[in-house]
Amino acid sequence: MTTNHGANLFDLASKLGIKKSEILDFSSNINPFGASKKAKRSVIDNVDMVSIYPDPEYKELKGVISDYCNCKPYNILLGSGATELIAAFINTIDPKKALLVSPAYSEYEKELNKIGCNIVKYFAKKESEFKINVNDLKKEIKTRNYDLVIICNPNNPTGFAFNKDEIKELLSGTKTFFMIDETYIEFTDTKKYSSTHLIDEHENLFVIRGTSKFFSTPGIRLGYGLISNKMVQDNILKKLDLWNINIFATLMGEIMFKDHEYIDSTIIHMSEERKYLDNELRKIKGIKVYESHGNFILCEIKEDDMTSEKLYNILLKEGIVIRNCSSFEGLSDKFFRVCILKHEENELLIHEINKIIK
C-alpha cells in the first residue's frame, strides 16, 4: 500500500470497509480545520454560477492573490493545483540538465523524466539533520552548468527551509532558472522564508504556490505561479487550457485569500500543534525527530526490528494513516512522516505510536 503520495482515501476506505471520514489521515499534509467557512458559503450561495464561464483573465482572483503574496497581478499564472504549474514550467524551460535538491516531492522527477532531462540530485544528509549549507549548494550550481534548479521550500519530506536571504544568495550571479515550490510556505514565517518579493528583480525565478494544504482545498485544484519573465510567462500560458480554473475555485479563491481570521487562526493552531507533536514524538526514545518548518514532521525509527512499513500497517488497523517514506530516494525503510491534525487526533497518534515503539 505504499505510494509516491499521501493516502488515496477512496481506495483505503473501500479496502478497510470504513468511511473516508473515519480515516485519520496523517499522510496528506492538509490543514485539519477544513476550508474557510466564508469561502464555502460563497460556493453554496452562488451555486447557479455553474452555468456561466469563469472570467478567462481571472482579474479579480489575480488581484486578491497579488495582495495576499505581495506581487504584481501581471506576474501571476493560475494552474489546476501546483501540479499543473510544475509540469507546465518544466515543459516550457525544457531543461537538458537539472539539479534537484533531494529528497523531494516525486512530481518534479516524474516531469523531468517525461522530457528526458539529465537529473542530478543534491542530497540533504541525515548526518546534517537534512539541513543544507547554502554555500555548498551555490558552489555546486556554479560549478556545473544547470538549466534548472528545483527547490521545495519548506522541503517535503524533510521540513528544512531556506530563508529568503539564502534564496537571494543562490540566485545572485546566475542565469540558471530556479523553480521554488512554496506549497508549504504559510506554515512557517512567510516574511522570513518566502521568495515572492524576489520575482521582480530575478527573471529566472518561478515561485509556485498551492491552496491544497494551507487552505485545505485540494478538491478545487487551485495553484498559482509567479514569474516576471514575459517570454516564459507567455510560453507557459500557451500550454495551459483556457478556463483552467473552474468557477467555484475562482469564487473560493476570491474569498479565502482575504479571510484573515481563518488565515491567522490556522497559523496559530498549526504552530502550537507542531510544537506539541514535536515534543511528544521526541519523548519516544525509539524515534528520532527532525525539525520541521512545514505542517508535517519527518521521523526516523531507531529500533532494529521495526520499519516504517510495519508501523504503517499496524496503525492502519486503527484507521490511522501515516506516510511511509521508504519510497523517497535519500531516505530508508526507517523513515515516516506525520502531519499535524487537531489536538485530540495528535494525542491519539502519540498514544498509538507509544504502544508500538518504546
Ligand X SMILES: Cc1ncc(COP(=O)(O)O)c(C=O)c1O
Q: Which helix (H) or strand (E) holds 122?
A: strand 118-123
Candidate ranges 77-85, 162-170, 194-202, 268-276; the one touching ligand X (CB under 6 A): 77-85
Candidate ranges 50-58, 81-89, 138-146, 329-337; the one touching ligand X (CB under 6 A): 81-89
- Which CB atom, from 141 or from 179, has the smaller least distance to ligand X? 179
CA-to-CA distance for 154 and 212, rounded, in angstroms? Answer: 15
| Residue 103, preceding peptide bond in cis (omega within 30° of 0) | yes
Residue number of the CB closest to ligand X reads 81
**Amino acid letter for position 319:** G
Residues with Cβ within 8 Å of 23's Cβ and at least 6 positions away in sequence, in order, are 7, 9, 12, 13, 16, 319, 320, 321
Q: Does the protein bind ligand X through residue 83 (CB under 6 A)?
A: yes
Q: Which of residues 169-228 bind ligand X (CB under 6 A)?
A: 181, 183, 210, 212, 218, 223
Is residue 290 within 8 A of residue 300, CB to CB? The reply is yes
Task: Name the grid cell of 195.
Answer: 521568495
Candidate ranges 64-72, 78-86, 194-202, 319-327; the one touching ligand X (CB under 6 A): 78-86
Q: Does the protein bind ligand X through residue 105 (CB under 6 A)?
A: yes
Q: Does the protein bind ligand X through residue 82 (CB under 6 A)?
A: yes
Q: Taking the complex as a whole, how short is the minimal distance between the CB of residue 124 and ligand X, in angstroms?
A: 14
Q: Taking the complex as a whole, how short is the minimal distance between the CB of residue 291 and ligand X, in angstroms?
A: 18
CA-to-CA distance for 246 and 220, rounded, in angstroms? Answer: 8
Residues with Cβ within 8 Å of 226's Cβ and at least 6 positions away in sequence, in order, are 69, 71, 75, 76, 77, 196, 199, 206, 207, 208, 209
CA distances from 144 to 98, 133, 138 (A): 10, 17, 10
Q: Which of residues 38-67 bind ligand X (CB under 6 A)?
A: none
Q: Which of residues 137-176 bind ligand X (CB under 6 A)?
A: 152, 156
C-alpha count within 13 angstroms, C-beta hemisphere, residue 94: 5
Q: Which of residues 241-280 bind ligand X (CB under 6 A)?
A: none
CA-to-CA distance for 263 and 127, rounded, in angstroms? Answer: 35
CA-to-CA distance for 153 and 188, rounded, in angstroms? Answer: 10
- Which CB atom, from 42 or from 156, has the smaller least distance to ligand X? 156
Q: Taking the complex as a whole, how short is the minimal distance between the CB of residue 308 and ligand X, in angstroms?
A: 18
- Which CB atom, from 66 or from 155, has the smaller least distance to ligand X? 155
Candidate ranges 58-66, 80-88, 304-312, 336-344; the one touching ligand X (CB under 6 A): 80-88
- Which CB atom, from 83 or from 228, has the smaller least distance to ligand X? 83
- Which CB atom, from 83 or from 92, has the smaller least distance to ligand X? 83
Candidate ranges 79-87, 117-125, 227-235, 341-349; the one touching ligand X (CB under 6 A): 79-87
Q: Taking the complex as a whole, how short is the minimal distance between the CB of residue 103 and ligand X, in angstroms?
A: 11
Q: Does the protein bind ligand X through residue 32 (CB under 6 A)?
A: no
By CB under 6 A, the count of residues binding ligand X is: 12
DSSP 53: P
> CA angle at residue 294 from 185 to 356, to 5 degrees?
165
Contact residues: ligand X, CB under 6 A: 81-83, 105, 152, 156, 181, 183, 210, 212, 218, 223
